[in-house]
Structure 1
Amino acid sequence: MVHQRPVPARLPVPAGLGRLAVLTTVFVCAACGLVYELELVALASYLIGDSVTQASVVLSVMVFAMGVGSLLAKRLRRRAAFGFAVVEAVLALTGGLSAMALYACFAWYGQARLALVAFSLAIGVLIGAEVPLLMTLIQRIRRQDAGGAVADLFAADYVGALVGGLAFPFLLLPVLGQLTGALVTGAVNAVAGGALVLWLFRCDLGPRARWALLTANGLVLVVLAVCSLLSGPFERAARHAVYGADVRVAVHSEVQEVVLTGGGGSGRPVSLFLDGHLRVSGTDASRYHQALVRPAMTGPHHRVLVLGGGDGLAVREVLRHPGVAAVTVVERDPEVLRLARTDPDLVALNHGAYDDRRVHCVTADPFDWLREGRWAGDGPYDVVVSDLPGPGVTPSTKLYSQEFYGLVGRALVPDGRMVVHSGDTGDPAGSPTLWTVDETVRSVGLRTTPYTAAGPPGPGERPRIWGFVLAAREPTGVHGPGLRPCTRRPPGLLPSTLMHPRYDD
């Protein structure tokens, strides 16, 4: 079989400079491709939850689609320059708009899974088509053995992926945010692909093809620029669609998105959302935090440690008990602490808990803070209150692990008590999550009493049911109005560990 060799290209520059231009474009396109991938994973984890599942879906679909794209690119090799420019223009538009489209599907249609798969598939196909076309182009500049050409392309590709992977969390996300960061990445992608073909391989294009590419890339850049200008109003409209029209505060901290709704004279109770999850509701905050704190405060409570709970509501309940000498709060997000100290509605809800001289705040990850033994200066503690996001939220899973509870046990006095929020059970008899938390706490040598408490029902709704686990080295009971101990322990329970998390989202 005779293989047709690529026709040498007529270049406006020496061959060495032409190869450098192609490899530079490979570098830029690889960086943009990885940014699209990471942006889909990050946004899906925030909107849908369970980052492990979302990362698996995005990565597996994209890798499969890249293989499909490589096969489809065979049909474009005869017009490799024009085909590559078209692929990059479509990729820039698709990748640049992906974050905005995904957020719109979640905000106005209530789900984003289908959009996540569709964009992963489309972006993967387009990324997969890049390398075969670039291989053809670089061989047209100067013929070399296939192994050497592949090595050069993959080296530039992998270095570009490294730069894109580092730029996303350390530059694009903190400086531009997810929406604008994706749009800017799309613009860079369009410019890199279009410039390479329209400058270096312009002799391969007829007048109509040149004008078509100039028009297409110009339209892509205009669309991305307009969307970037409108990203602020779009994000506010989408946020109102998710949280309601009375959003008062919405900030992206270094840790998460923090949203406050209600209050401020709106006539609606104040609510605090962290990464889309409701953490404080003015309608049931008192009942929830009473159920969380009071059972643990029935014994000695001279020194108290609150893990999470930066809103100050658990601290408010702790301070209601006489004999409390010191309260340490370990909260990873300084923005939540700032709002709990300064927002009038949150301050009214937590009764100005952070103005009390007995309260000391630490901004740190609770796991790291305990592991590094930074509690030794104030502890050990008589009571530990774990007011953390539910274990179904993937970043919090390690804070519901056997290893974490082992660290908590070291910070307790011999007769100390710990209470753990275990999520909404939906069942007065408990849920799999509640019983998994219970078994995990028991696995570190503590005796437990799981219990539930019901919150007030909303209009036409069933009451929320919260799950808790009270633990100590000696048996302890749970008493109080509205508190219901859970006694029907399911068989075959296993603890959750860092290497084998057992919580479902």
Structure 2
Amino acid sequence: MSTEQEAAADPVQPTRRWRALLLAAVAACAACGLIYELALLTLSANIHGGGIVATSLIVAGYVAALGVGALLVKPLLGRAAITFIAVETLLGVIGGLSAAALYLTYVFIGGSLWVLVVGTAVIGCLVGAEVPLLMTLLQRGRTAGATDTGRVLANLNAADYLGALIGGLLWPFLLLPQLGMIRGAAVTGMINLVAAAIVAVFLLRHIISARELAAALGVLAAALGLLATLLVRADGLETTTRQRLYADPIVAYERSAYQEIVVTRRGDDLRLYLDGGLQFSTRDEHRYTESLVYPALSESPRSVLVLGGGDGLAARELLRFPGIDRIVQVELDPAVIDLARTTLREVNGNALADPRVDVVVDDAMAWLRAPHPDVHPSGGFDAVIVDLPDPDTPVLGRLYSTEFYALVTRALAPNGRLVVQAGSPYSTPTAYWRTFSTIESAGFAATPYHVHVPTFGDWGFVLARRGADPPTPTVPAEAPALRFLDQQVLDAATVFADDQAPRTLEPSTLDRPRIVEDIRLGYR
């Protein structure tokens, strides 16, 4: 039966209340559709790094799928009512399960990009089918002129865009922080299914047969039961599958607003992971920490700024150095600070509780830009230690830019030293030498050096100061007894073999974050 025949057979013409309720359903479905896309983008960022290329592919693929879905549904417009219920049921189930499917594929198979691509295409097609179906339902029983059609389309677009706004606000401010990705997507799917059920019961019961309505409600109920089961068992599912990613037992886990934080322990070996990347192992972190901190302390510093390093290990070493009476620790994620004060307390010697350490929860770049007369020492900090994660996302890439290091000069005393953890000159040589060139482009004279950290392999740093003469890495005479670093080791650290030969590269900037692509190219 065609839409016109349905309308003729049904004496109940669409009322204003009918259309208002349908437009409310449009808004709810639009909110769910956008949340699914945001969930895919979030998963892409967490699992694959979420770079510009991946983000562009997801957004462009989703938009293209909207058009494909609108074309594919054309033959079904004659049965718009039952087709709409079918589309919403599929969308609720597939969208609600998308996060769990991607996560499980990543855990058990290792590669989940194909699931991301397929999920984007399917969800986009289903969302694209909604508008033609809803337009058909809204026009039911009308002899539509151009003006009337325009009004209906305007109402439909207004409801659609309002719903998208609501979904765009719900995901980052409520669903993701409160429920996480898997449960947030599942709840969104349930809302999608409930909206479809309301439309079926209150709006479409005069259009479809009683048997079709009962079948539709039965399918919707089964789909709701499936997502409710996922919602209840999500914690156990995540815990069980997450452990498969780590060789050692997980002793602490938190999904903060910024990253996934995992601590594992096997015997005396405690390890910290951020978004799956190893940050340190207590077996050899002293090699990394000593090599990062002490070469920057050759000018008998009294004040030190630490950007990143929220685990408290750099602060621990600074507190051992005589003469330092002021440490400002700037860390973006308060969850990392809380972890440093609890689970990692024995590892960092409870450094962040020391009265000489002023902990600031802020973005490093934003903090450098703002004036801090109550924190900033007169004349600037005697040393700045940059201990940030590798720049594998655009957000981190800006903290390895010329502009960032230029801001550091404003916080550094004229004779002060800057040290930056710069990755591996062997495994990721382009990224390492890009960091070196970027630091120099900000007006620093720099010296590269590298040491062997068994957990990481060959690991590099850059020591710098303002002016024309590069600093010579030295172990200060006042340094306490160290487990790894001495002057002989440090002298050798400035020597690079032919397969690690220095390179001069274009700097990474905010406009051209080249270092992010360097990391994405992978390991040598």
TM-score range, shorter chain: over 0.9
Partner Cα distance (2:420, 2:183) in 1: 39
CA offsets 1:151-180 (integer angstroms, 9 cap, x no match): 221111011101100111111112222111
Percent of aligned pairs sharing the same letter: 41
Q: Determine which of 224, 229, 232 is the counterpart of 2:227.
A: 224
Name the aligned partner's letter for residue 503 of structure 2.
Answer: P
- SS of residue matched to 2:494: strand
Match of 1:441 in 2: 439
Q: Return the offset for 1:334.
A: 1.6
CA offsets 1:425-446 (integer angstroms, 9 cap, x no match): 434xx71111111111111111
Task: Give the unaligned 5+ runs of structure 1.
Answer: 458-462
Q: Return the offset for 1:483.
A: 1.9
Name the aligned partner's letter for residue 48 of structure 1.
Answer: H
Q: Is the 8 A contact 2:200 2:213 kept in 1?
A: no
- SS of residue matched to 2:187: helix
Match of 2:461 in 1: 468
Match of 2:198 in 1: 195
Match of 2:503 in 1: 490
Match of 1:363 in 2: 361
Partner Cα distance (1:11, 1:159) in 2: 32
CA offsets 1:211-245 (integer angstroms, 9 cap, x no match): 22112111100000011011010010121111245
Q: Is the 8 A contact 1:251 1:259 kept in 2?
A: yes
Name the aligned partner's letter for residue 212 of structure 1.
Answer: A
Query: For 1:57-206, what aligned pairs fall within 5 Å after superposition?
Result: 57-144=57-144, 145=146, 146-206=149-209
Match of 2:478 in 1: none
Q: Return the offset for 1:203.
A: 2.5
- SS of residue matched to 1:494: coil
Q: Is the 8 A contact 1:11 1:18 kept in 2?
A: no
Q: Is the 8 A contact 1:434 1:450 kept in 2?
A: no
- SS of residue matched to 1:243: coil
Aligned pair 1:452/2:450, yes or no? Answer: yes
Structure 2 vs 1, CA of residues 259 and 51 (structure 1 numbering), >3 Å: closer, same or farther? same
Q: Return the offset for 1:347.
A: 2.1
Partner Cα distance (1:200, 1:134) in 2: 12
Match of 1:460 in 2: none
Partner Cα distance (2:157, 2:5) in 1: 20
Name the aligned partner's letter for residue 7 of structure 2.
Answer: P
Partner Cα distance (1:154, 1:84) in 2: 17
TM-score by length of 1: 0.92
Q: Is the 8 A contact 1:388 1:421 kept in 2?
A: yes
Q: Return the offset for 1:321.
A: 2.3
Range moving further from structure 2, 119-128 or 416-425? 416-425
Partner Cα distance (2:61, 2:426) in 1: 34
Name the aligned partner's letter for residue 370 of structure 2.
Answer: E
Partner Cα distance (2:72, 2:45) in 1: 31
Match of 1:423 in 2: 423
Q: Is the 8 A contact 2:376 2:411 kept in 1?
A: no
Structure 2 vs 1, CA of residues 396 and 485 (structure 1 numbering), >3 Å: closer, same or farther? farther
- SS of residue matched to 1:205: coil
Aligned pair 1:255/2:265, yes or no? Answer: no
CA offsets 1:449-470 (integer angstroms, 9 cap, x no match): 122221126xxxxx61212111
Q: Return the offset for 1:250.
A: 0.8
Q: Return the offset for 1:118.
A: 0.9
Name the aligned partner's letter for residue 370 of structure 1.
Answer: L
Partner Cα distance (1:324, 1:6) in 2: 85
- SS of residue matched to 2:347: helix
Name the aligned partner's letter for residue 117 of structure 1.
Answer: V
Partner Cα distance (2:321, 2:125) in 1: 62
Q: Return the offset for 1:121.
A: 0.7
Structure 2 vs 1, CA of residues 456 and 14 (structure 1 numbering), >3 Å: closer, same or farther? closer
Structure 2 vs 1, CA of residues 326 and 95 (structure 1 numbering), >3 Å: closer, same or farther? same
Q: Is the 8 A contact 2:394 2:513 kept in 1?
A: no
Query: For 1:231-310, what aligned pairs fall within 5 Å after superposition?
Result: 231-244=234-247, 246-262=249-265, 266-310=266-310
Match of 1:50 in 2: 50
CA offsets 1:2-48 (integer angstroms, 9 cap, x no match): x9967537376851111112211111100000000001101220111
How many pairs does the alignment contain?
490
Partner Cα distance (1:376, 1:199) in 2: 62
Partner Cα distance (2:40, 2:5) in 1: 37
- SS of residue matched to 2:244: helix
Partner Cα distance (1:13, 1:269) in 2: 72
- SS of residue matched to 2:245: helix
Q: Is the 8 A contact 2:305 2:328 kept in 1?
A: yes
Structure 2 vs 1, CA of residues 137 and 13 (structure 1 numbering), >3 Å: closer, same or farther? closer
Name the aligned partner's letter for residue 454 of structure 1.
Answer: H
Match of 2:394 in 1: 394
Match of 1:211 in 2: 214
Structure 2 vs 1, CA of residues 18 and 184 (structure 1 numbering), >3 Å: closer, same or farther? same
Partner Cα distance (2:95, 2:252) in 1: 29
Range moving further from structure 2, 63-72 or 295-304? 295-304
CA offsets 1:38-97 (integer angstroms, 9 cap, x no match): 011012201111343332121111111111111101011010000010000000000000
Partner Cα distance (1:268, 1:130) in 2: 56
Across the aligned residues of Structure 1 and Structure 2, the Cα RMSD in angstroms comes to 2.1
Aligned pair 1:8/2:7, yes or no? Answer: yes
Name the aligned partner's letter for residue 176 of structure 2.
Answer: L
CA offsets 1:91-129 (integer angstroms, 9 cap, x no match): 000000001111111111112211111100110110111
Partner Cα distance (1:478, 1:50) in 2: 36
CA offsets 1:304-359 (integer angstroms, 9 cap, x no match): 1111101111112222322222111111112211221222xx22221232243322
Q: Is the 8 A contact 2:3 2:80 kept in 1?
A: no
Structure 2 vs 1, CA of residues 211 and 198 (structure 1 numbering), >3 Å: closer, same or farther? same
Structure 2 vs 1, CA of residues 375 and 270 (structure 1 numbering), >3 Å: closer, same or farther? farther
Q: Is the 8 A contact 1:40 1:116 kept in 2?
A: yes
CA offsets 1:280-315 (integer angstroms, 9 cap, x no match): 222221111111112111223111111110111111
Name the aligned partner's letter for residue 493 of structure 2.
Answer: L
Q: Is the 8 A contact 1:391 1:422 kept in 2?
A: no
Match of 2:483 in 1: none
Partner Cα distance (1:272, 1:333) in 2: 14
Name the aligned partner's letter for residue 443 of structure 1.
Answer: S
Structure 2 vs 1, CA of residues 363 and 247 (structure 1 numbering), >3 Å: closer, same or farther? same
Partner Cα distance (2:248, 2:269) in 1: 13
Partner Cα distance (1:245, 1:312) in 2: 22
